[in-house]
Chain A
Amino acid sequence: MEDMEQDLRDSLRALMGSRSFLDAETLFDSGWDEVLEESPRLAVRTLFEEAGRGAVATAGLDVLISLALAPEREVLRVLAVQSRSLEGVDEDGVVMVERAVVTTDPDVVVIVDRRGADVVGAAEVEPGTGWTVEQVAGADTDSRLRLLSGRGRIRRRLSAPETEAMDRMVLLALSHERCGAARGLLDVAVGHVRERHQFGVPIGSLQAVQHRLAGVEVAVEAALSSLDAAWDTDDEVATLVAVAASARALSEAVRDCLQVCGGMGFTDEFPLARLMRRAVVLEGSGPSTRDAETAIGRRLVESGVVRIGEIDRPTEGQA
């Protein structure tokens, strides 16, 4: 299993190679969708972590939701998150989209109305009047950001369970990507502070530097464990915990890895730069730590219950 995972990661890395964007076609050609069918957890974990680590934008989320919503592959459904987009819109009504981020020029968009970390609804939407896709540089030219605006017509509203299941996948994928990005930043920073000498010593031997980077490691590991736990259950609080922890890992990595790389970290040709710009896009493309923690807190207050779980896979009855 571990070997298989490593093989998969290696082939994904090779696929990403010098690309800065991995489109849906390339993903299908690579057979990633078959891995997804067999083991969603493995497929999502490997693709998104590697994408994060390599600062490569992908159409992974689009492929993920397309396969989740319709088994036929001809039509790529493209994800667009727009808060309040479905508010007050009836069954086959018109949706107003304003500068929602998409990866490609879509035929069908899946609009998700997410507020903070809460998803309120989702619908498949077709282009209507004034439908435009504008390419922007944003914080990261390599991310190939496109902004969708205009009116769309609802083709189909997704049911609540369908919406929840889809959003769970989207949030887990994004969280893996954020962890990958944090790990990518950490790897660059660790490499740098081991080599860079000041005061006659590698700066990585200074405790203040060590503690910043060890802190990032702790945050990344906490997030990866939370993701593991979230895959084990369909409890939405577990997903929110993973979202919060991954968002925290990435923001700590952004803060601390840049700091310890000093002027070099600020230099565009140093590998940190690309990761930093991509990280800013990833930070903005889903709920923040605060969003997720607020949503968790609200659920706990509403239910008044903090469930003490039960450890999995007990060898009960063996003795």
Chain B
Amino acid sequence: MTVRAVERPADLRGWFGDHVEELRAFVPVDGESLDDRVARGAAMLGFLHGAGVMGRGWPEAWGGAGGTAIDRALVYDLLVRSGLDLPESLAPLEVLGSALSAYAPELAATHVPRVLRGQELWCQGFSEPDAGSDLASLRTRAHRSAEGWVLTGQKVWTSLGHLADYCGVLARTGTTDERHRGLTLFWVDMRADGVGARPLQTLTGEDEFAEVFLDEVVVDDSCVIGEVGQGWAVAMHLLQYERGMWAWQRQAMLHQALEIAMAHDEMDEVPVDAIGHAFCVLSSVRARSARTIERLSRGEIVGPEVSIDKILLGRAEQAVNDVVRLALGRDFATSDAAAAERARGAWFYSRAASIYGGAVEVQLDLVAQRVIGLPRGTR
């Protein structure tokens, strides 16, 4: 496949300054549904890609402009500074895109450019009804047949699962006793026969995640990400980005949320130390995440210490959204205005920040046992 060459602005910051007017078309609107938000994000990516902005930090072979995670991080900063949000498809791109790049270059060459152009959305099918924190106990099975791999099982809480085009499905190719050694990551077309997705409404009121059903879904060998049985290693590789780059995207958005709250009338009522606290935690996660991204950019493997980024992010999410809540005063609980609805949604979602991607307790276990060297053992 050939990727159309786009002309890239040499001065990225300058480009954002020069295109304020055009970018305004993509600023979030009040009362927008999730579907509309996803569509707006896709349109935004289309525009940015056409202008040669999107793709920095992705290899040229997959439609990118070369460079590293730092270049991506800069784009995220600049987008948010321009008053935009980050398109929904960028989170799964960071999480799965890096795994595809490292373990399935052909899939990356096909699918990464599509996300960068706003033409594709992915989801991550890891958790199952009986396998959340204990991911290694998952039961979705994949076995070989004449036609290829056949996947059967159920995923749950799959973010954007009902809207996505493709899903990274972690499935068991070995026995249950093998735990994490018997897993493989597959690339599954959500329109394939046997795939079903049922949206689940979240506490925020939105259908943000879904149940995904896999009933004898057939995929061929080209859809194996990494080697068969290597799924856990791929998942661990991916977690560096899930915990590292996701934190970066979110801290940018949280700066914006805090800035918006600062303009609110009732901000006077909010204790200044609560505001200072939120900003302090937020700054810590930014500083920490910047270090992680530098390391990823140098090609270093970021080990279990990335759990520290994840823990700090959860705290920052909650501290910032607590301030936003205080800034709204009574309206937070009682108003039907779009601003209140948005703030409530964000506040509820921030409570999940210490759950998704591995609950904070699990992260603390990892820090205790794999960073400071405490013995594994009793709970």
Determine if B272 and A298 form an interchain contact, defined as CB atoms under 8 angstroms apart: yes
Q: For residue B371, which residue of chain A has the nearest CB?
A: A217
Complex: A317 Cα to B124 Cα, angstroms = 33
A314: chain B residues at CB < 8 Å are 12, 70-71, 73-74
> For the complex, is B110 an interface residue (Cβ under 8 Å from A)?
no
Check if B276 sits within 8 Å of A190, measured CB to CB: no
> B262 contacts the other chain (Cβ, under 8 Å)?
yes
Of the candidates A237, A308, A319, the one whose C-beta lies within 8 Å of that of B80 is A308
Chain B neighbourhood of A237, CB < 8 A: 279
A214: chain B residues within 8 A (beta carbon): 364-365, 367-368, 371-372, 374
- The answer on a CB contact under 8 Å between A300 and B312 is no
- A141 within 8 Å of B (CB atoms): no
Q: Of all chain A residues, which has the CB nearest B70?
A: A314
What interface size band does chain B fall in?
Answer: 35 or more
A269 at interface (Cβ–Cβ under 8 A)?
A: no
Q: Please give, as numbers and ranges, the residues of chain A lying within 8 Å of B106 by CB-CB distance.
A: none
Query: Of A217, A297, A308, A309, which is within 8 A of B367 by CB?
Result: A217
Proximity bits, A97-136, B CB within 8 Å = 1, else 0 = 0000000000000000000000000000000000000000
Are A316 and B368 within 8 A (Cβ)? no
**Nearest A residue (CB) for B268:** A301
Quick check: which of B88-96, B223-231, B286-294, B346-354 contacts chain A, the rest being far away?
Answer: B286-294
Taking CB atoms and an 8 Å cut-off, the chain A residues in 186-201 that contact chain B are: 186, 190, 193-194, 199, 201
Q: A241-B280, A308-B77 are contacts. A217–B308 as well, Cβ < 8 Å? A: yes
Q: Please, how many angstroms separate the alpha-carbon atoms of A268 and B29 in the complex?
A: 62
Q: Is the CB of B262 within 8 A of A311?
A: no
Q: Is the CB of B364 within 8 A of A306?
A: no
B67 to chain A, nearest CB (A): 5
A-B contact count (CB 8 A): 193
Q: Are A296 and B279 in contact (CB under 8 A)?
A: yes
Cα distance, A313 to B271, chains bound together (Å): 36
> How far does the alpha carbon of A218 sit from the alpha carbon of B267 in the complex, in Å?
30
- Shortest CB-to-CB span from A193 to chain B, Å, is 7
Interface membership of B169, Cβ < 8 A: no
A308-B77, A312-B290 known; A294-B367 Cβ under 8 A: no
Stretch binding the partner chain, chosen from A28-36, A43-51, A162-170, A219-227: A219-227
Shortest Cβ gap from B302 to chain A (Å)? 13
Task: Determine the chain B residues whose CB is within 8 A of the CB of A292 once the complex forms.
Answer: 276, 280
Stretch at the interface among A15-23, A64-72, A146-154, A204-212: A204-212
Residue of A nearest to B379 (CB): A207
Q: Is the CB of B275 within 8 A of A319?
A: no
Q: Is B68 an interface residue (CB 8 A)?
A: yes
B311 near A: Cβ within 8 Å? yes
A193 to B374, CA, bound (A): 8
Q: Within 8 Å of chain B (Cβ to Cβ): is A59?
A: no
B283 touches A (CB below 8 Å): yes
Contact residue among A210, A229, A300, A319 (Cβ-Cβ distance under 8 Å from B365): A210
Within 8 Å of chain B (Cβ to Cβ): is A305? yes
With A217-B308, A298-B272, A301-B272 as given contacts, are A315 and B371 in contact (CB-CB < 8 Å)? no
Interface of A is mostly: helix
Asked whether B286 lies within 8 Å of A207 as measured between CB atoms, the reply is no
Other-chain contact of A293, B56, B71, B276 (Cβ < 8 Å): B276
Report chain A residues within 8 Å CB of B275: 296-297, 300-301
Give CA–CA (A201, B70) in the complex, Å.
44
> Given A205-B375, A306-B262, do A226 and B287 touch, yes or no (CB 8 Å)?
yes
Of the candidates B8, B70, B375, the one having the most CB atoms from chain A within 10 angstroms of its own CB is B375
Contacts of B299 in A (CB 8 A): none
Expressed in whole angstroms, the Cα–Cα distance for A224 and B279 within the complex equals: 16
Q: Is B104 at the interface (CB under 8 A from chain A)?
A: no
Q: Is the Cβ of A218 less than 8 Å from the Cβ of B311?
A: yes
- Which of B133-141, B211-219, B251-259 lies at the binding interface? B251-259
Q: Mark A175-192 against chain B: 1 for CB-CB distance below 8 A, else 0.
A: 000000000001000100
Q: Which of A204, A296, A311 contacts B276 (CB 8 A)?
A: A296
Interface residues in A201-254 (C-beta closer than 8 Å to B): 201-202, 204-207, 209-211, 213-215, 217-218, 221-223, 225-226, 228-229, 237-238, 240-241, 244-245
A213 near B311 (CB under 8 angstroms)? no
- Is A205 within 8 A of B262, CB to CB? no
When C-beta atoms are compared, the residue in chain A nearest to B267 turns out to be A301
> Which chain B residues in 113-136 approach chain A with CB under 8 Å?
none
Contacts of B372 in A (CB 8 A): 186, 190, 213-214, 217
B272 touches A317 (CB 8 A): no
- Measured between beta carbons, the chain A residues less than 8 angstroms from B277 are 244, 293, 297
A-B CB contact pairs (8 Å), 11 listed? A210-B374, A214-B367, A223-B284, A226-B283, A237-B279, A240-B276, A296-B279, A308-B256, A308-B259, A315-B71, A319-B60
Interface contacts beyond A293-B279, A308-B77: sample of 15 additional A-B pairs, CB < 8 Å, sorted by A: A201-B377, A206-B377, A207-B361, A207-B378, A211-B361, A214-B364, A217-B367, A217-B368, A225-B291, A229-B290, A304-B263, A308-B81, A308-B255, A310-B77, A315-B67
Q: Chain B: residues with CB nearer than 8 A to chain A?
A: 8, 10, 12-13, 56, 60, 65-68, 70-71, 73-74, 77-78, 80-81, 248, 252, 255-256, 258-259, 262-263, 267-268, 271-277, 279-281, 283-288, 290-291, 293-294, 297, 305, 308, 311-312, 361, 364-365, 367-369, 371-379
